[in-house]
Chains A and B, each alone.
Chain A
Amino acid sequence: MIAAAWIAVTAALYAAARALHRRFPRPWLTPLLVVPGALAAVLLAARVPYPGYMRGGRLLVDLLGPATVAFALPLHRHAGLLRRHAAELCAGILAGCAVAVGSSFLLARALGLGRPLALSLAPRSITTPFAMQVAGDLGGVPALAAVFVILTAVVGLVVGQLLLRWLPLRSAVARGALFGMGAHAAGTAQAMELGRVEGAVAGVVMIVAGLGVLVATPLLRLAL
């Protein structure tokens, strides 16, 4: 009953934030920033503990499973295009993964953050289930990795929209790869708004980057 109420509140706030973002398309008005901010204020003011909220919220998070499955459709539809651009995309993913893991770890250490925190930051560019596993294998904290993945999603939506204005990216493949690599599934959702090709590319990039970092974990354990 209360669980259903939290779903309803979340969905209503999301609908309002989405309408607001459509009316005023500013990067910082993304629903992923506005709605969690509003909900956090409500929960803290009403002294509702997070697990209480999550009894309903869990059901919304679970929809990411079917959403991941659904990527089979754009992969299937754009199989020819993806095969044609396979070389560019592989190069972009390889460069992106190296910069993501390397810069996260090195910047964290340079700023004096502890090793467990730096290792929890390392896989922050890949989608949550992969990132939690990689962080755990590297000696980081999976729960913190999940927080950093979400933080990356929020930052990535804002940064990505700004970079699209500043970088002269003509090809839809490059725009999709930027969002899929930089901000995993949230970036992919954003890329879907740009166009079907962008969305399909972002989905592929997100999944391949996740698999790539997962497979590279033994190497990362030696390097980091």
Chain B
Amino acid sequence: MPPAVPHASPPPATARSLLALPLQLLALGGFWGAGALAARALRLPLPGGVVGMLLLLGALRLGLVRAGWLERGADWLFRHMLLFFIPAAVGAIQYPELLGGEGARALAVVAVSTVLVMAVTGATVEWLARRREEAP
């Protein structure tokens, strides 16, 4: 949030605004750590990130945390989420056998099944949404 003092746009890059992104990322990382600890302590079959998300959602709903405090960090993570998948995708080089016939068939399964899943999901939601719109 910008300070309450009126200023000409764009606002100057203050030390505070430069620090906002790393601090917000650190705070989101803290919720992740807390989620991982809670999941282990309670033996939940859930990843730490999901438990951390539920903790943060609870804190937001209860008004303990304001969305504006974490907005920039969240937007940055969403914008670059594909980057975080790249190292895992490179991991395919560990399975050279997937370049053979079995791999080609597995790829065919993934491709056909993904088309079906996306089309069915999109069509189901769209159809129900339209029906509701048209209902009086």
Contact = CB atoms under 8 A, between A and B. Distances in A.
A102 B67 CA distance: 39
A95 B112 CA distance: 16
B129 A155 contact: no
Given A69-B32, A99-B116, A58 B122 contact: no
A181 interface: yes
B37 interface: no
Given A64-B49, A76-B60, A100-B113, A167 B90 contact: no
B83 interface: yes
Given A69-B32, A170-B126, A207-B50, A150 B79 contact: no
Contacts of B81: 64, 67, 185-186, 188-189, 192
Interface residues of A, number: 100
B89 A153 contact: yes
A33 to B, nearest CB: 8
Interface string B65-100: 001001101100111111111111111111100100
A87 B116 CA distance: 21
A63 interface: yes
A113 B43 CA distance: 34
Nearest to A146: B88
A174 interface: yes
B118 interface: yes
Interface of A: 10-11, 14, 30-32, 35-36, 39-40, 43-44, 50, 53-54, 57-58, 60-61, 63-77, 79, 85, 87-89, 91-93, 95-96, 99-100, 103-104, 107-108, 111-113, 117, 121, 124-125, 128-130, 133, 144, 146-148, 150-156, 159-160, 163, 167-171, 173-175, 177-179, 181-183, 185-186, 188-189, 192, 199, 205, 207, 210-211, 214
Given A54-B87, A65-B52, A124-B113, 11 more contacts: A31-B86, A36-B90, A72-B53, A72-B60, A91-B125, A99-B121, A103-B112, A125-B114, A128-B88, A192-B79, A207-B53
Q: Which 5 residue pairs spanning A and B have beta carbons closest together?
A: A57-B87, A68-B49, A178-B122, A182-B118, A70-B74
27 contacts: A10-B86, A54-B91, A58-B87, A60-B83, A63-B84, A64-B85, A66-B32, A69-B35, A72-B31, A72-B54, A92-B128, A99-B117, A107-B112, A112-B105, A121-B109, A121-B110, A147-B95, A151-B107, A152-B110, A154-B89, A156-B114, A159-B114, A171-B130, A174-B125, A178-B119, A186-B81, A207-B50
